[in-house]
Amino acid sequence: MSHSLPPNHFLSLPRQHVSHLGVVPDTSTLAAHDFDVDVRTGFMPPSPPLSRLPPTYAIWEQLLDDISTKRFKLGERKDLNERDRNASETWRRKVQQMPILPITELSQSEVMLRRAHHVLAFILHTYIHSLPPSADATAPIYIPAPLSIPLLEISADLVIPPILTYSDNVLYNWELSTSEATQDFPNHIDLMQLRTQTTFTGTPDEEHFYLTSSRIELVGVTALALLRSIEDEAFVGDFLSLQRISHYLSQLVGVIDEMTVTLNDVRHGCDPAVFYEKIRPWFCGQDSRPWVFEGATKANLQEPTELSGPSAGQSSIIHVLDIFLGVDQFSHTHVPGGTTTTPAPPPPPPPLSSSSSSSSNSSHVVAVEKQSPFLERMQVYMPRHHRAFLNHLKQSPRSLRAIVMTPPPSFSPSDGSVCNGFSPEEVEVRKDLKVAYNASVMALKRFRDAHIRIATLYIISQARKAQHESEALQQPNMDSGSIVLSQGSSDANSDTMQCKGTGGTDLVPFLKGVRDRTAAAVIR
């Protein structure tokens, strides 16, 4: 089986074996200083992801095909009939009865491992969420060994958790719709030519939902280029380079705004009710019912400590913007269940001269600390090269925020004299720099404002509607117009509705907190 990367690409080279405990650094990739971030496609791969595993794994691909052709329904749905129940039960039996396949053939190639994770993670979520509901809300869900063992092994090799991730349903879940588009890609990218490989529901809404994120990733490539240019200028660090940095930051505002427009486009193709009722439940991670990976102990495989469902909170491009702008020191501090709704006080800027201490190994640690801030936990679900990229960026010796904060913002000589070595021209240039930096931070805040409106429309309003309907059903003689909801109908009241994100956050306070802390990064 040939895969789609050129033979000399670093991901096509033989992999250094990564222990199943995930503790041996994969230096073959880190040493190459290649973080699998392409100049043309960013965090998306530069060619369409593999769409089929080698014949040895035909049974997995067949089970995935069944998901597409049979369109199983969620086990919790009230409108299930006998045929629906039998169809998913027959399919689950096939999962239980398949042989436990060794992953040796896959371990040679990152691209094949990704496809295998995609296939098995879709099978895992279909298996779990097609199960009939249990009377005991805390009863464990048993994942049969033929699914759990290879999924744990593959996840250990990729150093990501054994659950559906953003990379499974966005980064490595697309193809191009025409041969012309395939031929031109990635030198010419037509965002409208993207199609999704796998969905749970077969609805255009689900496809549009995934592709919205893919398009944001591709729009974000221009932001990555600007960040590189800013880094280069920061290295030079002279008067002219400060002017150039301001210019690049002004361009960055335009790119982030374009990402916001693309985000808003989710409304033009993904119906909120279809999303809430039919699509979203397939994403849910482990909640009150523990997932038991059968055979894991016997096979000496590490079981996961946390299993959050896929969330675009795992998108590296947004984390990159946060880290590069130094916003992460504010926006990433939320611990779910904590009380960090007020912006944290600005931390002192790191010294300009601080140098990168070491190349971190933390990209290889997959154990998740439940109490660490949500956005940091989400990095564990990212492809490990992208995680390494974020760590690399965090350790940059030239923090943009620190550059903008030199001299301190309060410094403003009014008599035009040269003060502390800064000429009046340089003072002006530094003022412009601060304005441009703050404009970028505010663009990111606008992205988050738009995102909150979308989460409200797609989750909060739909949850409220569902509650309204179920109350109406319980009180059939009551005039529906007279039903009073405990939650108000305006967005302002949405905080009172307890809704969880797929990543398990109390979504409204969480998203508003991240947005407010982003705004708090503005330099006064």
Question: What is the sign of the dihedral through the CA atoms of 44, 24, 377 and 318?
Answer: negative
Q: Which amino acid is at 440?
A: S
Task: DSSP letter for 446, please.
Answer: H
Give the closest residue to 448 by CA, choosing from 279, 313, 311, 294: 313
What phi and psi values does residue 495 have, to the nearest 5 degrees? Answer: -60, -30
Among 454, 463, 485, 522, binds ligand HEM (CB under 6 A): 454
Contact 363, 388 (CB under 8 A): yes
**Residue 44 binds ligand HEM, judged by CB under 6 A:** no
Distance CA 264, CA 169 (A): 19
Stretch that binds ligand HEM, among 52-60, 83-91, 207-215, 428-436 (CB under 6 A): 207-215
Among 385, 451, 464, 517, binds ligand HEM (CB under 6 A): 451
Structure tokens at 203: 């609805």
**Residue 315 binds ligand HEM, judged by CB under 6 A:** yes
**Residue 304 binds ligand HEM, judged by CB under 6 A:** no
Cα→Cα distances 146→42, 110, 152, 307, Å: 35, 21, 11, 19
Q: Which amino acid is at 489?
A: S
Contact 306, 161 (CB under 8 A): yes
**Residue 402 binds ligand HEM, judged by CB under 6 A:** no
Structure tokens at 173: 């879940």
Structure tokens at 134: 């249990």
Among 503, 513, 519, 521, binds ligand HEM (CB under 6 A): 503
Contact 249, 439 (CB under 8 A): yes
**Residue 326 binds ligand HEM, judged by CB under 6 A:** no
Closest contact distance (angstroms) between CB of 141 and ligand HEM is 20
Structure tokens at 170: 């966005």
Closest contact distance (angstroms) between CB of 199 and ligand HEM is 14
Identify the three-state secondary structure at position 142: strand
332 annotated binding-site participant: no
**Residue 502 binds ligand HEM, judged by CB under 6 A:** yes
Site for ligand HEM in 358-397 (CB under 6 A): 375
**Residue 523 binds ligand HEM, judged by CB under 6 A:** no
Identify the three-state secondary structure at position 223: helix
Structure tokens at 503: 């990543």
Task: DSSP letter for 400, please.
Answer: H
Closest contact distance (angstroms) between CB of 366 and ligand HEM is 19
Distance CA 313, CA 446 (A): 16
Stretch that binds ligand HEM, among 62-70, 184-192, 309-317, 407-415 (CB under 6 A): 309-317
Q: Closer to ligand HEM by CB, 255 or 514: give it.
A: 514
**Residue 213 binds ligand HEM, judged by CB under 6 A:** yes
Closest contact distance (angstroms) between CB of 107 and ligand HEM is 30
Among 504, 519, 520, 521, binds ligand HEM (CB under 6 A): 504
Q: Closer to ligand HEM by CB, 157 or 207: give it.
A: 207
Closest contact distance (angstroms) between CB of 276 and ligand HEM is 8
Closest contact distance (angstroms) between CB of 401 and ligand HEM is 18
Closest contact distance (angstroms) between CB of 458 and ligand HEM is 4
Structure tokens at 390: 């974020």
Q: Which residue is nearest to ligand HEM (CB)?
A: 501
**Residue 510 binds ligand HEM, judged by CB under 6 A:** yes
**Residue 49 binds ligand HEM, judged by CB under 6 A:** no
Can you name the residues that pair with 202 across neighbouring β-strands?
Answer: none
**Residue 448 binds ligand HEM, judged by CB under 6 A:** yes
**Residue 501 binds ligand HEM, judged by CB under 6 A:** yes
- ∠ Cα 269 271 277 (to 5°): 140
Q: Closer to ligand HEM by CB, 4 or 493: give it.
A: 493
Question: What is the sign of the dihedral through the CA atoms of 163, 167, 169 and 175?
Answer: negative
**Residue 275 binds ligand HEM, judged by CB under 6 A:** yes
Alpha-carbon Rg of the chain, whole angstroms? 24
Q: Which residues bind ligand HEM (CB under 6 A)?
A: 209, 212-213, 216, 263, 266, 275, 311-313, 315, 318, 375, 448, 451, 454-455, 458-459, 501-505, 507, 510-511, 514
Which residues does the annotation place in the binding site for heme b?
451
